[in-house]
Amino acid sequence: MDIRQQKQYENFLEPRRQEISNFLWISKHWDPKIAFKQGSRRPTPASHKEAVLQSPRIQELLNELSRQQNIPKSQLEKQIRTILDEIGYDRKMKVVRWLGLALTKICMKVLSGLYINTAKVQEIKSVMGNCPVIFVPSHRSYGDFILMAYLTFTYDVEIPAVAAGMDFHGMWGMGTVLRDTGAFFMRRSYNDDSLYWTTFKEYVFQLVTKADVPIEFFLEGTRSRSNKSLPPKFGLLSMILKALFLSQVPDILFVPISINYDRILEENLFTYELLGVPKPKETTSGFFKSLKIIKEHFGDIFIHVDEAISAKKYFEGKIQRTSHNVGPIHQQDMTEEEKNLIPQFANEIVHRQQKNNVLTVFNLIALVINNNYANERVSFTLDELTKQVMWMKQILETLGCFIHTTNLEKSIKDSFIIHSNLIRLDSKNKVCLISNEVTQEKISPLKLKGHALSDKTMTYSVPFIMLQIYVNPSLHYFVDVAILAIILNKGSSLIKDELFQTYYFLRSLFAKEFIIFTSLMGMEFETAVNNGINFGVIECTDSGCHYQLGSNNKLTEFLLNALEPFQLSYFITFSVLQGASLLTDEKTILANVQQVVENAISINKEFIHPYCLNLDTLTNCLSTLCSMNIMKKSRRDNKNMYSGNSEKLREICERFEIYIPNCHMRKTTVLNLTLQNKL
């Protein structure tokens, strides 16, 4: 049986290929299923804005500000209306239909398939109508927003109101188009503007309690440049859940959605951003330039819709909603107990997104090529690649991963076509990474996020960074086993409690890198131990009392190689921080770490993965140190500043150092000390 049928995936682009006229389809009578039935008369985008203005919370704020600032209330109301016009979504079906037609034409040209687990979509539809429905997709591309609208239109579900950043609002023409298709806009920074902040929160509250359309937002807050799950943001999620905690809705259904790309539209842009090149401003002209993608091929896209999570059931027994029965609702806020439960709920959604990832064969190819380069084996044939991909496929499927392929050899050949910008076969049928010479435009050092890397370094690093983007989605499947391999690779034998304590330390250190729910760490450890034993990476001695490295050297080597770039990045960051001044700005720290790595790469005596240059990992490291109270982050002169506890930094560096491969450890430490002396 076709594996897509086993997983009930349907290519919902295929009917568009077969029909006589896409225009007839996009012009169809559309009677969508609404999320939350509000009565006989449907609310409108305009009625939502008016309801916000007339709400008790906003009226009280206007009265208070009018007294404090001696400004007529009518003048403040005009400001509120201006804010609501900036925020509020709209819905114009003519715009939706014309965009849908254009998207259909583009998708049929650049994609092989657009797959979704249709049965689950129909199941979600069947339970809609009685409470708010929140779609929570993973965020790997700007395409996520467009695909969700296309999906809901195709399956006759009301197109959601989508939280979008102000970057899009400022795009001439495009901001209006996005608003007309359901986008509502939020500023990333409020600058203590209580009028805006209160208005926005009230607008979200109004959408949750009084709208009949679904709401869509990205829990990660921004696109993941690394193609891994990012730590969730809690702001918008808290605003949505507040309506449930205050008993203003009977329930809220959250629908986790995983969107996976065979080839990411922004792969080139993300690669340069990870290396520190500033993101270009979103502009309409830039959007039209990006349409050149229609000349390329992007393979398949998979959208996996998960079971809806009932927030009422999730929080049942954990909170006391009766605590909000005293006093007017608009003066109520969430309790500290309720606020403390929100991160757990957010992690549950991220966990669901990760669990339902769909990997393509190119993700396996990227893993294999990455591992070969880490072993300094840069020459291997297509037959060798195919055997290693088959081996990797068996391992990942054992770990619960779903890999989209019906014919492995054909999928490998297709990958060379889809990713012809990154990999190719030479005249001897050997697999090669494609490296194009990079000549950078002059960018002001003030705009760079880190060190000004040389053209030589950029030319060498870009293909490796891009390749790693396709390695990353698979890492969460075996990160826990890999950490056990790192611990036991020292050659020592540990009792289970000792192994867990070290696992807990390293797993916590990488918590921003590979998202984990802290309360599940014990269970994840047990699963990792069992998997490690089954794979032969770990073995028990003395009647199961002690654990040591197993005999599966091939898999152990692969696991160690997979996490080595992250280990080195963190270790070099620790070393740089120890030599930094008492108070250092973020850009200086990032630039110094990148310079150390660039120097290490330039020596070229042994392979150091250029992914150590990526700024996402370095900022994750800083964030982790802050959460562990080893560093403190502050804001000064529009810069992120860090101060550290030198004693704690030294301790964590010494504790972490023993798990760094010796050859790299010596090299990076010497280079780091040399750099510090120069500075």
Give the CB-side neighbour count of residue 605, counting CA atoms within 13 A. 8
Based on the fold, state whether residues 348 and 373 are members of the same structural domain.
Answer: no
**Cβ neighbours of residue 102 under 8 Å, at least 6 residues apart?**
none
CA–CA gap between residue 483 and residue 476 (Å, rounded): 11
What is the tally of structural domains in the chain? Answer: 3
Task: Please name the amino acid found at residue 453.
Answer: L
Per-residue pLDDT tens over the stretch 148-183: 999 999 999 999 999 988 776 666 557 788 889 889
Q: Are residues 455 and 349 in the same domain?
A: no
Cα(621)–Cα(612) distance, rounded to whole angstroms? 12
Strands 215-216 and 161-165 come out as: parallel
* Residue 393, both tokens: 């496929």
Q: Which stretches of the chain score pLDDT less than 50?
A: 1-6, 288, 665-666, 670, 673-674, 677-679
* Unique residue bearing structure tokens 């805006």: 196
Residue 30 lies in a domain: no
Judge whether 400 and 534 are in contact, CB under 8 Å.
Answer: no
Q: Which residues does 554 contact at the CB level (< 8 Å), separation at least 6?
A: none
- On whether residue 41 sits in a domain, the answer given is no
pLDDT value, residue 173: 58
Q: Give the separation between CA 106 and CA 100, rounded to whole angstroms.
A: 10
Domain boundary among 335, 355, 375: 355
Burial of 234 (0-12, 13-18, 19+ CB in 10 A): middle
Residue 23: phi and psi, rounded to 5, are: -65, -40
Among 355, 390, 409, the domain boundary falls at: 355
Same domain, 415 and 512: no
Nearest 10 degrees: Cα torsion 589, 590, 591, 593: 90
| DSSP type of residue 14 | H
Considering the domain architecture, whether residues 70 and 141 belong to the same structural domain is answered as yes
Which residues form the domain of 642? 478-678
Looking at the fold, whether 591 and 453 belong to one and the same domain comes out as no
Same domain, 460 and 499: no
Q: Which residues contact 498 (CB under 8 A, 6 or more apart)?
A: none
Q: How many Å apart are CA 414 and CA 466, to the nearest integer?
A: 18
H or E, element range at 424 = strand 423-425
Residue at a domain's end among 337, 355, 373: 355
What is the per-residue pLDDT for 346?
Answer: 95
Same domain, 97 and 235: yes
